[in-house]
Amino acid sequence: MGIIDKKVSLRNRGKLLLGVYEDEDQLMTAAKKLAGHGIPVLDVYTPYPIHGLDRIIGVKRTNLTVIAFLCGLTGFSLATLMIWYMNVHDWPMIVGNKPLVFATSWIPVMFESTVLCTAFGMAFFFFWRNRLAHGIQPELLDDRQTDDRMIVVVEAEHANAEEVMSIYRSTGAVETRERVGGVQTTIK
């Protein structure tokens, strides 16, 4: 799994099968049924987090922690390099009879730099990965997915469209749709 999650983007995808729900429990039933039939769920869009749904649709653990570690390491190395260059290499400076190289006095700078780089690095990677930068057109499937509708998305190439639609209907979806190239059509 790459650092950038391709899953979050809906661009450049084939036919998508959407099931729109109004009820959390019906959505959970549908997700379980799809999983039971071995149909991979691309994603579920909900206005609020639903406890346990992530495990059912097989959301993988985030890799943001790897980024955090790498950013921290970068910050630590940069701080070490900076202090070494400034205080040891370029302009050796002894303050208060303290040792010149790798003194305890380096620790606060190293610590702060590590924390700074980790925090900023994680924030930037999080925004990049989730396409949350300012000005990016949001990919909403339905305006009400941020309000009171929940949408299950399955890619048609990985599943039988009829089977998916029948699962949607049998579990109480208020609407079933197809989405091809950004255009949605309601399927009765």
For another protein, the binding residues (CB under 8 A) are 25, 28, 51-52, 54-55, 59-61, 65, 69, 96-98, 104-105, 107-108
Nearer to another protein, 16 or 46 (CB): 46
Q: How far apart are CA 139 and CA 128, in angstroms?
A: 15
| β-bridge mates for residue 183, sequence order | 180
What is the smallest separation between the CB atom of 104 and another protein, expressed in angstroms?
6
Give the neighbor-by-neighbor strand order of the sheet with 16-21. Answer: 43-45, 150-155, 16-21, 175-180, 183-186
Nearer to another protein, 113 or 179 (CB): 113
Residues in the chain: 188
DSSP string for 40-75: PP-EEE-SS--TTHHHHTTPPPPSHHHHHHHHHHHH
What is the smallest separation between the CB atom of 165 and another protein, expressed in angstroms?
23
Nearer to another protein, 81 or 107 (CB): 107
What is the smallest separation between the CB atom of 54 and another protein, expressed in angstroms?
5
Nearer to another protein, 96 or 138 (CB): 96
What is the smallest separation between the CB atom of 31 and another protein, expressed in angstroms?
9
What is the smallest separation between the CB atom of 76 and another protein, expressed in angstroms?
12
Kindly state the helix (H) or strand (E) to which residue 164 belongs, with its residue range: helix 161-170
Would you call 26 exposed, middle or buried from its count of C-beta atoms within 10 A (0-12, 13-18, 19+)? middle
Q: How far apart are CA 45 and CA 48, in angstroms?
A: 9
Nearer to another protein, 11 or 61 (CB): 61
